[in-house]
A = this chain, B = another copy of it.
Amino acid sequence: MRTPATIREVGLRDGLQLVKQFLPTESKIAWCKEESLAGLKEIEVTSFVPPSVVPQFVDAADVVAATLSVSGLEIAALVPNFKGATRAFEAGVHKINYVLSASEMHNQANVRRSTEDSLQDFERIASERNTRKLPTKIVGGIATVFGCTIQGAVPEARVFEIAERLRNLGADELIIADTVGYANPRQVRRMLQRIVEIFAGPVYAHFHDTRGLGLANVSAAVDAGVTRFDASIGGLGGCPFAPGASGNIDTEDCAYLLESIGFDTGLDIEKLVALRNKVAHWLPNERVGGTIARAGLPKTFVPTQSKRQSAEPTVQHASVQ
C-alpha cells in the first residue's frame, strides 16, 4: 500500500485572481466537476473578497453553491477578513482558508493592516463559527513564510510564533505559503520540520514555481513529513507583488512527482492533462505551463494502486488520512 498524499486545486482562486478575462461561472463549475472525475478531493473554488477588488470572484456564492453538490468534493474558499468569512459561512463552504502574511509589509500591502490585527480577525472568525455551531473548518494560512518581495527576509521565529498562535486560536489546519517563490529546499525542510512539530495537525504546503524550485520544494516538504500540497492546473497564477512570477506549481506535474516517489494521490494524470488543455483553451491570453502535458509520462511510470483497482473517482474525504 502506498502512503496517501493530497493535492488541493487552487487554480480557480490563486490561478484566476490575476486573470483579467472573466471565466464564466459554468466553466468554473465544469472545471471542478472534471477535476473531481480525475480523482481530486478538495478544491479552493473561489475567494470571498470584495468584487470591486477582484471582479473575477463576483460569482463566489454561485460557484460554491454549484460545487457543493459534487459528491466527494471538499469545497474551500479563501477569505481575507471577517466580512469575507461571514459570506463564506453563508455560502456553506466546507472549509475557510484565512490568509495572513508573516511579512508585516506584505500584510499591509495585501489587506491593509498589521499581521497582529489579522490574527485577531482569525480569532473572531473561529469564535463566530463556534457560536453558530457550524461544521466549517477554519484554516490558518501563512503567506510569505520564506521571504517577501517587499520586506525581504522574514524572521523564522516570527513564522513559528504565528503557527503556534494559530494553533492556540483553534485553527483546524495550516497552510504554509511561499507566496513569492523565494523558498529553497534546505529552508523548506528545516522550517516545515519545525512547523509540523508546532502545529501537530494537517499542514498544507503552497509553493510557487517562480524561480524553478517549486517541485524541489515539494520534495523537500515530503522529507519534512508534509503530504498535502496546493497546486494549480497548468501552473496558472501568480502574485501581484512578485513581478515575472510564473505562478503556482502545476497540479499535474506535482501529481507526477508525488506518484513517482511512491505516494498515492488518487489522481489520474492523463485526465488532469486533458483538463489543463481545456483550461488553456478557455484562457487563451494566459501562460499555461506543464511539463507532463508537453513530454508525457515516462514508460517506467507506475500508476497508483487505487487507480488500477477502480476507474471510479474515490469518494474518500481529503481530510481523512
Contact = CB atoms under 8 A, between A and B. Distances in A.
Interface of A: 147-149, 152-153, 180-182, 184-187, 209-213, 215-216, 218-220, 242-246, 250, 253, 256-257, 260-262, 291-292, 294-296, 298-300
Contacts of A242: 295
Contact of A300 (B153, B216, B220, B262): B153
Contacts of A147: 298-300
A148 to B, nearest CB: 8
A125 B140 CA distance: 62
B245 A295 contact: yes
B299 A152 contact: yes
- Identical copies of this chain, number: 2
Q: Which of A149, A182, A257, A298 has the most CB of B within 10 A?
A: A298
A181 to B, nearest CB: 7
B295 A257 contact: no
- In the A-B complex, list the 10 residue pairs whose CB atoms are closest, starting with the nearest: A212-B291, A184-B260, A186-B261, A216-B216, A244-B295, A147-B300, A152-B299, A182-B298, A185-B219, A216-B219
Nearest to A260: B184
Given A219-B219, A219-B220, A243-B295, 17 more contacts: A149-B299, A180-B298, A181-B295, A181-B298, A184-B260, A186-B262, A211-B253, A211-B292, A212-B253, A213-B215, A213-B257, A213-B260, A216-B218, A216-B257, A244-B294, A244-B295, A246-B295
